[in-house]
Structure 1
Amino acid sequence: MSLIEGLSGLNAASEQLSVLGKNIANSATVGYKSASVDFTNVLASHLNSANSGMSTQTGGGVLASNVTQSFSQGAISKNTSPLNAAISGQGMFVLKDPVLGNTVYTRNGQFTENSTGYLVNGSGYKVLDITGTAIQLPVSPNDVSPTSTQTYQVDTVAFTSSLSPYGTVTFGGLTYTNTDGSTLTAAEVAAIFTGLSAGDTSTTIAARSAAAVAAGGSANAAISSGIFSGVLGNFNTTTGTVPDTYLGMQLSAATQASAQPIAVTYDSYGPQTTISVSSSGFLTGSDPIVETTTAGTDYGYLNSMAIDTEGNIVGTYSDGSTYTLAQIGVAMIPSNTGLKQVGNDTWMQTSKSGVPVIAAANSLGRGTIVGSALEDSNVNQTTDMVALLAAQQAYQASAQVVKIENQIYQTLIGMNG
């Protein structure tokens, strides 16, 4: 029987060496869980004639009965990858194998966004949210904040003084010179620059005036008595509303009563530089009131993402807004040791593990999530190196048993000869 016992010792020690070798090899593998071998002795029995035929059990060798993984918490290391995540406490990330369609579980949170926006691990498995749905994130150039809007900036230009003969007003790149020889009231000056379109020139203004006459209307007398030059900027103009304040100061009732306002609306979304208006020849010598009435807004484009303690992936946009894009699911496993290891740092559910339940982190016993971080392997290299030496000695000792037993058998065979 000693030969069999020695062989069992070799097999058991070999299994332990294999497990310890895997532990040491994966000491730097993210989320790796160390394993250990459970041993049990094998009993042999023989009849004891001196004891009325009762059998006696004796040691018959050793058996590596089970390989058990330790799901203790590994250290958490911070990094600069915004979509990396670690679980501090109980639970596992949930992944979907895109090829086989299997749902698997992992503690390795090395996640990235693939070309189609899905959050995936290094093997291309899709990360699932709290509802069990694959997480898909925004992809440029369609990464616009759902909460942002686009509006046009509106400036107000208000004329409060008459324009003397041969006076000029330059309004956003378009210059008007009063060549009529008579004074134009503030209302007439305002009318000259009301109803214009972006890019207007003397030609387009004259054509629009002629079209109005042909349609039964009349040309603006002020426009026909002056000369335009230049090109209007990226604005359209309509009749505006008299402002209450100017440059933060309250306007007097007299100024408000005399003001002839124009609303200048930009063609481009978002904040703009206020329209430039200058003049020469106003009777009072003052330039018109020019200020931004409402600043425009633009779409906010995704600048960065981060993961909070509850697994929310929060996007920060160029307009300063934030928005929760998704929430990473965390599965509670009734029995971690009942899971089946399937490679790629993942496990699968079995009848011994129980049915995993997916929900949000930091709920119902689940751990919290640490963003821009990873869980280190929980392998204790010092312990495993010492155990490796012991396993090596056990292997060598069992080999000696086999060697000596073989020599005994050879001696017995030689005696028969």
Structure 2
Amino acid sequence: MLGHTTRSLFHVREYAMSSIINAVHTAVSGLNAQSHAFTDLSNNIANSQTTGYKASTTSFEDYVTNNELANDGESLSDSVSATTRQHTDNQGMVTTSTNSTALAISGNGFFNVVQATGQSNDSTPVLGTQQYYTRNGDFSQDKNGYLVNTSGYYLEGYNVDATSGTLGTSLSAIQVPSTIAFRPTESTKLTATGTLDSSSKTVDMSTTAYDSTGAASTVDLTWTKVNDTTWTVKDANDTTGTSNSATVTFDSTGAVSSVTSQDSTGASSTSSSSFNYTGSPQDMTVSLSGVTLGSANTVSMTSDSVTSGTFSGISMETDGSVMATFDNGYSQLVAKIPLTTFADPNSLSAQNGQAYTATSQSGSPQINAVNTNGAGTLTTGSIEESTTDLTGDLSKLIVAQQAYGANTKVVSTADQLLQTTLAMIQ
């Protein structure tokens, strides 16, 4: 009988020890979980003013382990775990910025950015190959003309080739140096002025015209006398003699009275002073009203292209265009900003400075033009604010603090019970 009683006391003490240790384990897991929550909430609160920051939340889940309290095939939870949940798909409030080159996304897209890995001997940044994505659109130009956000990431886009004037098809860091050259504007009108010598049989005139990319072409026109009051003017490079030609009639004062023309398509028209030039480099109007008949050949021709300008700054457009502005009042496209979307943006891997990298869970990056495929719109001179709910997170912080304190009480109580149990064993 005594042996049975001794064994029963042993089992009671063993059961008590196991229960106390489990209680300590549960309370410690609670402390760790609440500490995790503290970290997430503190990070949100600290970044409540950080441009493009996406607030996270803490998720708690219970763990079921091998528990002696289990009975009838049921397991009881004796620990808790906390994980951080990202909410990169949450839209932040768009507010006006004093920075004219800042951009804010309203939608699902991200800016494509890269980091500098060093500097060359001339202090030009050496850019890395790792692709990053961000919603921090507070961009400004650095000393080399690159667009860099407040976290030090370099904005990427499709740059216009300085030689051909065409938009590229691969992403690269956008750079607009102060030395950028002005591309001549597209020619839309050629103007002939001066005097035709009435005693001449042919007179040539030429000028340089520019296409939409700023590429130059020479336009040659030849005047041929028909009679004292009638001349023909045509494209000197046309061997058929019918394209881009016009018959010009002068009145008794030597001024142009009518122009009957035929363009390269065969279409005819009559005007008092001009004709349509079609073909290379593009369709243009040729004005002849400034030409008169006289006793000397001084006729010449000019185009309406603006050919010079000094760089004065950059401007951003809502369609993602980055424009170089010049002192002549013109702006020219230097780059185009696309936006990248993901099937599951909440599965992106967070990096320093409000940036992310793609993961297998996020899906492959899909590059889109602004305002297509859900990528979103751009607001210029604006930023996207942090999505932190400051009031709500402060309230949650108080609750987490109370839960942390309660778990501390459990550990303290369990310690007292453990000491009592050990004293009983002794």
TM (normalized to structure 2)? 0.61
- SS at structure 1 position matched to 2:143: coil
| Match in the other structure for 1:72 | 90
Which residue in 2 is equivalent to 1:62? 80
CA contact (8 A) 1:303 1:316 kept: yes
CA offsets 1:353-410 (integer angstroms, 9 cap, x no match): 0001112110111100111111000101011011001000010001111111011111
**Deviations for 1:90-119, whole angstroms, at most 9, x for unmatched residues?**
110011223242101000012122333322
SS at match of 1:61: strand
Shift of 1:132: 4.4
Is residue 142 from structure 1 mapped to residue 186 from structure 2 by the alignment? no
1:56-84 deviation per Cα after TM superposition (whole angstroms, max 9, x unaligned): 21121211144333531111111232221
One-letter amino acid of the structure 2 residue matched with residue 39 of structure 1: F
Q: Which shifted more, 110-119 or 82-91?
A: 110-119
Give me the whole-angstrom Cα distance separating, in 2, the residues matched to 1:408 and 1:344: 48
1:41 counterpart (62, 74, 78): 62
> Is 1:403 aligned to 2:412, yes or no?
yes
1:162 aligns to what?
Answer: none
Structure 1 pair 305–115 and aligned structure 2 pair: CA distance change class (3 A):
same
- 8 Å contact 1:313–1:326 — kept in the other structure? yes
Contact 1:118–1:135 under 8 Å retained in 2: yes
SS state at 1:55 partner: coil
Cα 1:400–1:137 shift into 2, 3 Å? same
Q: What percentage of aligned pairs have identical amino acids? A: 29
Structure with the larger RCO, 1 or 2 (CA within 8 Å, 6+ apart)? 1
Q: How many residues align?
A: 289
Would the alpha carbon gap of residues 243 and 389 (structure 1) be closer, same or farther in structure 2, given more than 3 Å must change?
farther
**Residue 330 of structure 1: which of 331, 339, 349 is its match?**
339
- Counterpart CA distance in 1 for 2:412 and 2:68 is 29
1:15-39, CA deviations, whole angstroms, 9 ceiling, x for partnerless residues?
Answer: 0011000000000000000001111
Q: Which has the larger radius of gyration?
A: 1
User: Which of 388, 392, 400 is the equivalent residue of 2:397?
Assistant: 388
- Partner residue, 2:146: 118
**Structure 2 counterpart of 1:345:** 354
Q: 1:48 to 1:106 in 2, by over 3 A?
A: closer
Task: Give the gaps of 5 or more residues in structure 2.
Answer: 1-21, 118-127, 159-168, 195-252, 257-291
Listed as ranges, the matches of 1:12-411 within 5 Å are: 12-46=33-67, 54-99=72-117, 100-129=128-157, 131-147=169-185, 299-411=308-420
TM-score by length of 1: 0.62
Give the Å deviation of 1:345: 1.0
Q: Distance in 1 between matches of 2:304 and 2:86?
A: 65
Aligned-residue CA RMSD (Å): 3.2
Give the Cα–Cα distance (whole angstroms) in 2 for the partners of residues 140 and 3 of structure 1.
66
Following superposition, the deviation at residue 126 of structure 1 comes to 2.3
Change (3 A) 1:314 1:47: same
Counterparts in 2 of 1:327 and 1:146: CA distance versus 1, 3 Å? farther
Cα–Cα, structure 1 residues 333 and 3, in superposed 2: closer, same or farther, change >3 Å?
Answer: same
Alpha-carbon offset, residue 244 of structure 1:
6.5
Contact 1:306-1:313 at 8 Å conserved across structures: yes
SS in 2 for 1:387: helix
Unmatched 5+ stretches in structure 1: 157-241, 246-255, 266-292
Confirm or deny: 8 A CA contact 2:86 2:347 kept in the other structure: no
For residues 306 and 124 of structure 1, the distance between their equivalents in structure 2, rounded to whole angstroms, comes to 20
* Separation (CA, whole Å) in 2 of partners of 1:8 and 1:137: 51
* SS, match of residue 414 in structure 1: helix
Deviation of 1:148 after TM superposition, in Å, equals 7.9
| Residues in 1 aligned to 2:409 and 2:68: alpha-carbon distance in whole angstroms | 29
Classify the secondary structure of the residue corresponding to 2:51. coil
Q: 2:75 aligns to what SS in structure 1?
A: strand
Question: What is the deviation of 1:243?
Answer: 10
User: Matches of 1:306 and 1:345 in 2, distance apart?
Assistant: 24
Which string of whole-angstrom CA distances, capped at 9 and with x for unpartnered residues, describes residues 215-250 of structure 1? xxxxxxxxxxxxxxxxxxxxxxxxxxx9969xxxxx
Distance apart, 1:120 and its partner CA? 2.3
CA distance in 1: counterparts of 2:306 and 2:378, whole angstroms: 35
In structure 2, distance between residues paired with 1:3 and 1:41: 15
Distance 1:148 1:318 in 2: 18
Q: 1:323 to 1:395 in 2, by over 3 A?
A: same
CA distance in 2, matches of 1:98, 1:141: 22
